[in-house]
Amino acid sequence: MLAAEKWYAYQKDYQKYGLDMRPVEKKKIRERVEKDAAISVKDKFRLLVLMVALGALFAGFVAATAYGAKIQYNINTIQAKSDEVQGEIENLNVKIKSATNIQTIEEMALAMGMVYPKLTEYVYIDGGTEEPVQDFALALMEQAYN
């Protein structure tokens, strides 16, 4: 067999297994022409529009970030005022509790000239009756002056 015939026989055997033994032609590298290297007016316009759109997008990001920072500053300011008012409320509650303390009231009453009643000045209400007293103030006054 000749070399060429052997080659075609080998090629048919390899094609059974999915291999192609034909020599691959090298593609020609296309050389750039000066015309291809230049950017057309249409491409320049597209690049300009793209750059303007990206600039607007990034300017929007900056504006959104600044707006968010302003809102956060307002929230922090209001929170600080709220904490201050809450502190004042707690201070006032403490003052109220200390002013309504029974010992404080007793000291203030004694300072104004009030005195404790003597044993003869006590009034006892008879609690032996089954029915409740209708007018407690009237019953107390009757017992006090009788």
Per-residue pLDDT of the chain (146 residues; tens, 9 = 90+): 577 787 777 777 777 776 666 666 777 666 555 555 578 899 999 999 999 999 999 999 999 999 999 999 999 999 999 999 999 999 999 999 888 888 888 888 999 999 888 888 877 776 665 566 677 788 888 887 76
Q: Where are the domains of the chain?
A: 40-113
**DSSP secondary-structure letter at 112?**
T
pLDDT at 7: 73
Given this model, what pLDDT does residue 38 score? 79
The answer to whether the beta carbons of residues 136 and 144 sit under 8 Å apart is no
φ/ψ bin of 18: left (φ > 0), alpha (ψ from -120 to 50), beta (otherwise): left
Question: pTM of the entire structure?
Answer: 0.44
C-alpha distance across the termini of the chain, in Å: 155
Give CA separation, 77 vs 29, 39, 40, in Å: 68, 55, 56
